[in-house]
Amino acid sequence: MANLKLTPDETKAWMGLIKAQQHLTDKVEDELKKNGLPPYSWYDVLLELDKAPDGSLRLNDLGKKVLLNKYNVTRLIDRLEKEGLVSRDACPVDGRGKVACITPKGRMLRQKMWPVYYSVIKEHFLSQFSTGQLGQFIECIDRINSQFKN
Amino acid sequence: MANLKLTPDETKAWMGLIKAQQHLTDKVEDELKKNGLPPYSWYDVLLELDKAPDGSLRLNDLGKKVLLNKYNVTRLIDRLEKEGLVSRDACPVDGRGKVACITPKGRMLRQKMWPVYYSVIKEHFLSQFSTGQLGQFIECIDRINSQFKN
DNA sequence: TCTTATTGGTTGCATATGCAACTATAATAT
DNA sequence: ATATTATAGTTGCATATGCAACCAATAAGA
């Protein structure tokens, strides 16, 4: 059994990350709501679809991109479909599959959400970095994330 | 109206942060579950209470520390109370207030959760930093968080 | 003091999420 | 080909969260 203790710096780094992300995403949700816009999760999938060729992705692949498990993808797509932001079509190459396809209305909503989202990123996140720091930060973050690619 | 564009690096930093934190907290929840332990949110409040003098805090203050709004604090404390991990007492100095007080059972549970939590932090977070980087990282994160201290 | 506004906390109802079971199709094995 | 197993997606039920309304007590104003 190992030491089981974190140094003060280690604690600061970890707790800091948790709280930072919580503050930031709270702020994003807050601003979206204040502007009468849907939650961030909607933006997240609309963006992935918007970027995808043909504006469509299989639910499964979409789930991996936005880090949602399958039942939550199903239901999120339910809601978006109900609002006419995506359509849900049969997958041509796999009889089990479904693809979500972003509609023009969906693309427009994403565009409308972006400025609000953008301003939070700019004001509360990017503004806190000096020029060199951003690169450093990316390096750390990438290392962490690379563990989770598969 | 400004530019509304992020550079590739800015995007990487932001999206990286979001995904990193999502991966890491998913992993924490995962490991806790795998070990038959309650969710992270329980740990978070048990820790704050454990650190507090007398092991107790006003619900309101607790909420600020764990970044939960009041109704969620009420309900989280409901659940912890039901399990005998905290008691909910009247606040001596304010007739409106309530304090949550951690029980011995609560302290023990926190201790039991710690190694599981610790190992995720160690293995998936700290292990990714070279020595100098941690300090850099803290600096960035602190800047971000300092905006939100009221 | 008496009235009004604020604050701390709780609750009902609507929505969102987790879990396990289920259907249908596809991939693998014999 | 047939049987088995795995994968994609959905659904019912239980739990958790958000929102607005609420109660009770303190604080602020006239």
CA distances from B102 to A11, B38, B45, B53, B117 (A): 22, 16, 9, 11, 19
Kindly state whether residue B26 falls inside one of the protein's structural domains.
Answer: no
Q: What are the backbone angles phi and psi of residue A146, rounded to the nearest 5°? A: -65, -25
| A146 contact partners, CB below 8 Å, separation of at least 6 | none
Kindly state whether residue A109 falls inside one of the protein's structural domains.
Answer: yes
Tell me the pLDDT tens digit for each residue of A17-38. Answer: 999 999 999 999 999 999 999 9
Kindly state whether residue A53 falls inside one of the protein's structural domains.
Answer: yes
Task: State the nearest Cα–Cα gap between B95 and chain A, in angstroms.
Answer: 31
Mean pLDDT of the A45-59 span: 97
Contact A57, A65 (CB under 8 A): yes
Using DSSP bridges, classify how beta strands B98-102 and B56-58 pair: parallel, antiparallel or unpaired.
Answer: antiparallel
Kindly state whether residue B25 falls inside one of the protein's structural domains.
Answer: no
- A96 CA, D2 C1': separation in Å? 21
Tell whether B24 lies on the interface with A, counting CB pairs under 8 A.
yes
As for how many domains chain B has, the answer is: 1
Contact assignment for A126 to B14 by CB distance below 8 Å: yes
Q: What whole-number percentage of chain A has pLDDT above 70?
A: 99
Contact assignment for A124 to B134 by CB distance below 8 Å: no
Tell whether A114 lies on the interface with B, counting CB pairs under 8 A.
yes
Cβ contacts of A6 on chain B, cutoff 8 Å: 118, 121, 126
Interface residue of A44, A119, A123, A141 to substitute, partner B, most B CBs within 10 Å: A141
Q: What whole-number percentage of chain A has pLDDT above 90?
A: 93
What per-residue confidence (pLDDT) applies to A132?
86
- Which residue, chain included where needed, has tokens 């992705």? A57
Contact assignment for A17 to B24 by CB distance below 8 Å: yes
Kindly state whether residue A140 falls inside one of the protein's structural domains.
Answer: no
Beta bridge partners of A57: A100
What per-residue confidence (pLDDT) applies to B150?
56
Kindly state whether residue A23 falls inside one of the protein's structural domains.
Answer: no
CATH of the domain at B96: 1.10.10.10
Kindly state whether residue B14 falls inside one of the protein's structural domains.
Answer: no
Q: Which of residues 121-150 of A touch strand D (CB under 7 A)?
A: none
Kindly state whether residue B77 falls inside one of the protein's structural domains.
Answer: yes
Instruction: From A40, A47, A59, A41, select the one nearest A100 (Cα to Cα).
Output: A59
Task: State the nearest Cα–Cα gap between B83 and chain A, in angstroms.
Answer: 26
Pairwise CA distance, residues B115 & B3, whole Å: 47
Tell whether B33 lies on the interface with A, counting CB pairs under 8 A.
no
Mean pLDDT of the A40-58 span: 97
Pairwise CA distance, residues B47 & B65, whole Å: 10
Protein-contacted positions of strand D (CB under 7 Å):
7-12, 16-21, 24-27
Pairwise CA distance, residues A69 & A107, whole Å: 24
Structural domain including B137 reads 36-146
Its sign, for the CA torsion B101, B103, B109, B111, is positive
DSSP single-letter state for residue B96: T
* pLDDT < 50 regions, chain B: none
